[in-house]
Structure 1
Amino acid sequence: MSNIIPATTVKTVAVDGIDVFYREAGDQKAPVILLLHGFPTSSFQYRNLITRLALQYRVIAPDLPGFGFTVVPDSRKYVYSFANLAKTIEEFTNILKLNKFAIYIFDYGAPTGLRLALARPDAITAIVSQNGNAFEEGLGDFWDHIRPYWAEQTKEKRESLRWLTTFDTTKSQYTSGEKNPSAIPPETYHLDQTLLDRPGNGDIQLDLFLDYRKNVEMYPEFQQYLRDRQPPVLAIWGKNDGIFIPPGAEAFKTVLKNVQVEYVDGGHFALENHLDEIADTMLKFLDKSGI
């Protein structure tokens, strides 16, 4: 095997009227890992992980509709829901002819990826969940801000959540729970915020905050999929995350016979300060799982 790190290329593919932007690296014939990002970021969050994985795997990281550099024309009249995000990614995997792949799920990438697993259960070879929740036990106090909007969908409740799309909130998702926040490159949260501030994007995010309640309703389906299919799962958690808390990682043990649960001493965007630890653990897990 060559030790030369494969270059990461950026590409766009037409998917159901949407121009899906994605990053890709690695041998086209290698086993595939699909990286699904969270709020409020994009495939950029995986820029460093991609290079760590690409020596052994074909790594693909798309930007979800409403995020990053994926372009959704106004004429498409796209409805921003997690069901539709998952349908778009399912079609993306079909167009790229990805027949078998592991998924790395984080934050919003978790319900997107698990819905994909329900739609294409035979395609999933393994799951790495980094603060990617599928259990009510994993919902931290953060969600207490959003639950009132789920219960009463008024304009006032909706507007009360707009602070979640501000710079201070974006930055705090990177820095909270980290002992060394000064090591996090500022371009991470500045890029996220620049893209969040595009006209109309704030309302897209408010739509998704509301729709997240449907993911919680689907948790039992996600759990039944895990129980029935028993895919290899690594749950590796930033243990100081206040959004998706460690009991969510432990809960995987209730539905899986063999699951590896690990923690790093970080927060929500744990890859920024704990890349080596997460990547090394992930590579050993995938190797042990025969991926």
Structure 2
Amino acid sequence: MRKLIYVKILSTILMIATSKNQVMAQSKTETLIEKQDNPSIFYKTIEIKGQVIFYREAGRLDKPVILFLHGFPSSSRMWQPLLEKLAMDYHVIAPDYIGFGHSSQPGPESFTYTFDNLAEYIGKFITQLSLEKFILVQQDYGGPIGMRIAEKYPEKVQAIIIQNAVSHKEGLSPLWETRKAFWADKEKYYEAVKKNFISLEATRQRHIGSTPAPERINPDTYIDEYLFLNKPGMADIQLNLFYDYQSNVKSYPKWQEWLKKHQPEMLVIWGKYDPSFTVAGAWKYKDDVPKAEVHIVDGGHFALDEAEPEILRLMQQFLKRVTIER
């Protein structure tokens, strides 16, 4: 009995010490960020409901916040070039979702992989970092996660920047017809879709698309993603989440109503060589937000692969025009 009590006391002491160390480390990092004249990227983690969320952060804390939400099957790493270049003028933050990048990757038997659940964790991430106002940058999966955040925290969203993220059925290419078959009969198509999802050719095609200059795409991007998708258990994690993608399509009408009601400052940048999301999906945002800026660039689904300088310029011009309140 005494041994059990001793173990419990020791465990409590260790928990308090660990928590104190985390707070001290966070405070030290914030001090470093605040003193930066030439900002560096910090690579950090935070624990939420027993799961670890990894995130990249740079820029002074008194600058306007930009929250970057990545797509599939990438991570916050996709935003690294923009984080480095925008950190002089903004406080930039880019998390990895649960199941992605360097964040926790529990198996689907112990974690519910839905967009509602991933958005809930990002919402708690926002709360824990005390982000009062921010500009949302959304790519691919970042779109449905970002729109859930916008619905829950409309008062926090100062502007929205979209890069190949769909909120209208018109944005879904014919490729989605076979994907809808998987939604209709998960068991029948699971293995076939799984095989395609983790194949090198499918991973490469997400980046190459229909670009006339595939030699401009750094193969490291899709090879790294291919290796990530072929980690033990990862295919099942991603297939469970992709099965839930149908919930996003069903939510398109309410997201369109949200946009019509709130009329956010909005920039839409679209890579025209995207095999999954059509250019029509970019222009449909103007039906909801007539003042939205829409720019079609020479790039694919991951337009930063080919059009990073242009995208950076468009974002900087847009951000300067947007009225920001800290």
Using the size of structure 1 for normalisation, the TM-score is 0.95
Does the aligned pair in 1 maintain the 2:99–2:106 contact within 8 Å? Answer: no
Distance 1:56 1:145, change over 3 A: same
Distance 1:76 1:16, change over 3 A: farther
* Aligned-pair CA distance for 1:177: 2.7
Does the aligned pair in 2 maintain the 1:130–1:237 contact within 8 Å? Answer: yes
Matches within 5 A, 1:261-280: 261-280=294-313
AA aligned opposite 1:256: V
Aligned residue pairs total: 289
4+ residue stretches of structure 1 with deviation over 3 A? 72-76
Does the aligned pair in 1 maintain the 2:162–2:268 contact within 8 Å? Answer: yes
Match among 189, 193, 208 for residue 157 of structure 1: 189
CA offsets, 1:90-113, max 9 Å, x none?
A: 000000001100111010010000
SS at match of 1:141: coil
> Which of structures 1 and 2 has the larger relative contact order (alpha carbons within 8 angstroms, sep 6+)?
1
CA offsets, 1:27-50, max 9 Å, x none?
A: 111101011000011011111111
* Equivalent position of 1:33 in the other structure: 66
Match among 126, 139, 145 for residue 159 of structure 2: 126
* Aligned-pair CA distance for 1:72: 3.8
* Equivalent position of 1:211 in the other structure: 244
Distance 1:76 1:124, change over 3 A: farther
CA offsets, 1:165-209, max 9 Å, x none?
A: 222111111112333322322221122122211111101111122
Greater shift after overlay, 73-82 or 108-117?
A: 73-82
* Aligned-pair CA distance for 1:270: 0.5
Determine whether 1:137 maps to 2:170.
yes
Match among 49, 52, 57 for residue 19 of structure 1: 52
- Unpaired runs of 5+ residues, structure 2, are 1-35
Distance 1:264 1:74, change over 3 A: closer
Does the aligned pair in 1 maintain the 2:197–2:235 contact within 8 Å? Answer: no
Matches within 5 A, 1:88-107: 88-107=121-140
Distance 1:31 1:144, change over 3 A: same
Determine whether 1:197 maps to 2:220.
no
Determine whether 1:258 maps to 2:291.
yes
Match among 195, 206, 217 for residue 184 of structure 1: 217
Match among 89, 109, 116 for residue 83 of structure 1: 116
Using the size of structure 2 for normalisation, the TM-score is 0.85
SS at match of 2:175: helix
Q: Distance in 2 between matches of 1:233 and 1:165?
A: 34
Does the aligned pair in 2 maintain the 1:41–1:68 contact within 8 Å? Answer: yes
Distance 1:86 1:220, change over 3 A: same
* Aligned-pair CA distance for 1:145: 2.1
Percent identity over paired residues: 40
Q: Distance in 1 between matches of 2:125 and 2:277?
A: 27
Q: Distance in 2 between matches of 1:168 and 1:76?
A: 28
Distance 1:110 1:149, change over 3 A: same
Q: Distance in 2 between matches of 1:75 and 1:107?
A: 22
AA aligned opposite 1:234: L
Determine whether 1:283 maps to 2:316.
yes
* Equivalent position of 1:7 in the other structure: 40
